């Protein structure tokens, strides 16, 4: 199999903090305790009380059995009960599993869990060993617009399939929302694009009208990675919140100190030339409160010694009472969530994407204040999948993935048009351009010797003549494009498949589309490629 490794900087819209993290062989202290190449995490399992491990395993067993988890997953839960560590990643519960990077995250935690099994061959490490892979469902997010759709490709177009639920009048967690009868029409549309495959059968089994966003996503990913023993967790329940209550309690009782620590960290980030991922406003907190009546997820703010959730005021004892009686009503924000996760789970390493890793630079102070340790964070597999038909087009035009990502389709089409011109035309344009450049350089030197002002005028005129020469080259390339329409079609095909709408493939196209085409062998490929040998971006030729 052909695989190309590119610097992660080839992808657009990356933060400087993540780019520095991704390229450094030494931890960027104090923000991180690891680098993309770190290996020490593999032998360090955070200590947990046996009673905690037992309760955790019991709750995970209940959930995963309800999602029809396989025997290898249940065996991994028992390993967790006996003191195994975990490699953890997670994702919002988007429709049909969301974009490709969901599969990339799952593949990475599976591969890293295998690394934490010294002396166990890769194939035997599936579903076994000292570390277990755990996929965290981000069910408490409340942005329905980010979760209610998936994008699937047909031959020459992308199709966004959307579940048109009535938008709740408040910010309710998406995970608990039922799919409703509208899911049937979405599945019918999906059947036209990826139907007739075992993977589509998994969709229809998981996405039923009575299912929720959380339960359907959980059933799909559990079935997809059953052979790898992937454990899935929805920690939004009362039982899990009660188990991690010390973290929530700390966020209430030490809110002022934690806010001060975050402000200090934000100042240090700014001094180093970085920016904070989450704005920590004065009086803000690390918690949301679920409204007891509507279920809306409302941010908690502090003012004059009290807590505000919308228009309702709470005292600190009030919130502690809520925590004791109904802990599931208190929800961690983006900075506290990983700390909540890694108190609940014996996380040896957390796997994240670029934004998630950037969050850790702020969360690190919360880790130290609440847990007294910092979890190593490692990058997920970042990849573009290149199908055989696309690989042929790339080879025909002597292009690589970097050409597609670095060039606008119009620019690339002109370049290929110019390249495909008859040899005689290329020679004439090149010869004329070279002569023009030589003569203009000589003319400018002569005018400079006569008078500086005349030399400046000569430079302006020369610039205009060179512009017209370049314009002639573009016109000639345009004529070639018109004569050979296949060039433009090829460019559009490459852009559409590899960099759709100028966004990375992994963030745009639903992973289920690739699964439907390539099945279980694709999962093996992704797990094999999720090693730490290339902490950049891979082009994987299928």
What is the 3 state secondary structure string of 460-519? HHHHHHHHHHHHHHHHHHHHHHHHCHHHHHHHHHHHHHHCHHHCCHHHHCEHHHHHHHHC
- Length in residues, the chain: 542
Tell whether 409 is covered by a domain. yes
- Residue written as token pair 């040899």: 423
Both tokens of residue 360?
């850790």
The ranges of the chain with pLDDT < 70 are: 117-129, 167-169, 420-421, 425, 429, 477, 479-484
**Rounded to an integer, what distance in angstroms lies between the CA atom of residue 40 and that of residue 34?**
9
In a domain, 15, yes or no: no
Estimate the crossing angle of helix 485-498 against helix 388-396, to 10 degrees.
Answer: 130
Task: Please name the helix (run of DSSP H) or strand (run of DSSP E) that holds residue 193, with its range, or none.
Answer: helix 183-194
Q: What is the pLDDT of residue 433?
A: 78
Q: Round to whole Å and give the CA distance between 438 and 135.
A: 64
**What strands, in cross-sheet order, belong to the sheet with 231-233?**
231-233, 131-138, 85-92, 347-352, 377-379
Structure confidence at residue 168 (pLDDT): 67
Beta-carbon count within 10 A of 6 CB? 18
Domain extent at residue 429: 388-504
Contacts of 424 (CB under 8 A, 6+ apart): none
Burial category of 463 from C-beta neighbours within 10 Å (exposed 0-12, middle 13-18, buried 19 and up): exposed
Number of domains in the chain: 1
pLDDT of residue 260: 97
Query: What is the per-residue pLDDT across 192-207, written as a single tens digit (0 to 9) for each?
Result: 999 999 999 999 999 9
Q: Which residues of 168-185 are buried (b: 16+ CB within 10 A; e: fewer)?
A: eeebbbbbbbebeeebee
Instruction: Classify residue 4: in a domain, yes or no.
Output: no
Residue 522 is assigned to a structural domain of this protein = no
Give the pLDDT confidence score for residue 119 in this predicted structure: 45
Instruction: Look up residue 46 and give its DSSP letter.
Output: P
In this prediction, residue 128 carries a pLDDT of: 41
Question: Is residue 415 domain-resident?
Answer: yes
Q: Which of 337, 373, 365 is nearest to 352 (CA)?
A: 337
- How far apart CA 475 and CA 466 sit, in angstroms, is 14
pLDDT at residue 518, as a whole number: 96
Has residue 24 been placed in a domain? no
Gap between the Cα atoms of 16 and 7, Å rounded: 14
User: Which of 296, 149, 158, 288 has its CA nearest to residue 213?
Assistant: 149
**Considering the domain boundaries, does residue 34 fall inside one?**
no
Residue 120 pLDDT: 42
In a domain, residue 486? The reply is yes
**Cα distances (angstroms) measured from residue 59 to each of 318, 338, 537:** 28, 19, 37
pLDDT of residue 121: 40
User: Torsion angle of alpha carbons 512, 522, 174, 308, nearest 10°?
Assistant: -150
Q: Do residues 197 and 206 lie in contact, with contact meaning Cβ atoms separated by under 8 Å?
A: no
Tens of pLDDT, residue by residue over 359-386, are: 999 999 999 999 999 999 999 999 999 9
- Helices 213-224 and 101-115, axial angle in degrees (round to 10): 50
pLDDT at 488: 83
Q: How far apart are CA 542 and CA 535, in angstroms?
A: 20
The CA distance from 270 to 272, in Å, is 5
């Amino acid at each position: 199999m052909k695989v190309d490794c590119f610097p992660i900087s080839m992808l657009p819209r990356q933060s400087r903090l993540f780019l520095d993290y991704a390229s450094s062989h030494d931890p960027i202290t104090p923000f991180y305790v690891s680098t993309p190449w770190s290996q020490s995490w593999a032998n360090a399992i955070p200590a947990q009380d046996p009673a905690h491990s037992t309760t955790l395993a019991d709750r995970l067993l209940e959930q995963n059995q309800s999602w029809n988890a396989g025997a290898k997953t249940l065996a991994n839960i028992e390993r967790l009960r006996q003191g195994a560590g975990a490699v953890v990643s997670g994702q919002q519960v988007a429709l049909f599993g969301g974009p490709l990077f969901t599969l990339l995250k799952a593949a990475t935690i599976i591969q890293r869990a295998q690394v934490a099994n010294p002396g166990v061959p890769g194939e035997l490490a599936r579903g076994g060993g000292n570390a277990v892979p755990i996929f965290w469902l981000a069910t408490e997010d409340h942005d329905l617009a980010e979760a209610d759709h998936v994008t699937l490709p047909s031959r020459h177009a992308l199709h966004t399939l959307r579940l048109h639920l009535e938008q709740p009048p408040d910010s309710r967690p998406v995970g608990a929302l039922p799919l409703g009868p509208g899911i049937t029409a979405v599945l019918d549309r999906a059947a036209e694009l990826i139907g007739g495959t075992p993977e589509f059968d998994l969709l229809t089994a998981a996405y039923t009208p009575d299912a929720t966003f959380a339960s359907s996503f959980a059933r799909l990913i559990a079935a997809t990675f059953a052979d790898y023993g992937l454990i899935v967790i929805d920690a939004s329940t009362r039982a899990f919140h009660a188990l991690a209550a010390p973290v929530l309690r700390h966020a209430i009782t030490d809110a002022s100190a934690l806010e001060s620590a975050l402000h200090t960290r934000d100042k240090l980030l700014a001094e180093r030339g970085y920016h904070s991922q989450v704005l920590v406003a004065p009086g803000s907190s690390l918690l949301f409160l679920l409204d007891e009546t509507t279920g809306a997820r409302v941010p908690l703010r502090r003012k004059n010694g009290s807590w505000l959730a919308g228009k309702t005021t709470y005292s600190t004892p009030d919130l502690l009472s809520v925590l004791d009686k109904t802990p599931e009503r208190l929800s961690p924000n983006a900075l506290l969530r990983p700390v909540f996760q890694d108190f609940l789970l014996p996380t040896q390493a957390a796997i994240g994407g670029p934004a998630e890793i950037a969050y850790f630079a702020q969360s690190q102070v919360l880790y130290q204040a609440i847990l007294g340790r910092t979890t190593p964070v490692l990058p997920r597999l970042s990849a573009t999948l290149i199908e055989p038909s696309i690989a042929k087009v790339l080879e025909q035009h002597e292009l690589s993935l970097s050409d597609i990502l670095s060039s606008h389709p119009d620019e690339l089409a002109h370049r290929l048009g110019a390249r495909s011109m008859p040899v005689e035309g290329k020679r004439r344009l090149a010869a004329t351009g070279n002569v023009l450049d030589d003569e203009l350089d000589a003319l400018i030197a002569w005018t400079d010797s006569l008078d500086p002002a005349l030399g400046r005028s000569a430079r302006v005129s020369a610039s205009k003549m060179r512009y017209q020469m370049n314009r002639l080259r573009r016109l000639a390339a345009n004529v070639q494009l018109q004569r050979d329409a296949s060039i433009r079609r090829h460019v559009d095909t490459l852009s559409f498949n590899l960099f759709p709408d100028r966004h990375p493939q992994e963030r745009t196209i639903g992973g289920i589309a690739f699964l439907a085409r390539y099945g279980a062998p694709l999962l093996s490929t992704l797990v094999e490629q999720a090693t730490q040998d290339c902490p950049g971006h891979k082009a994987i030729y299928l």
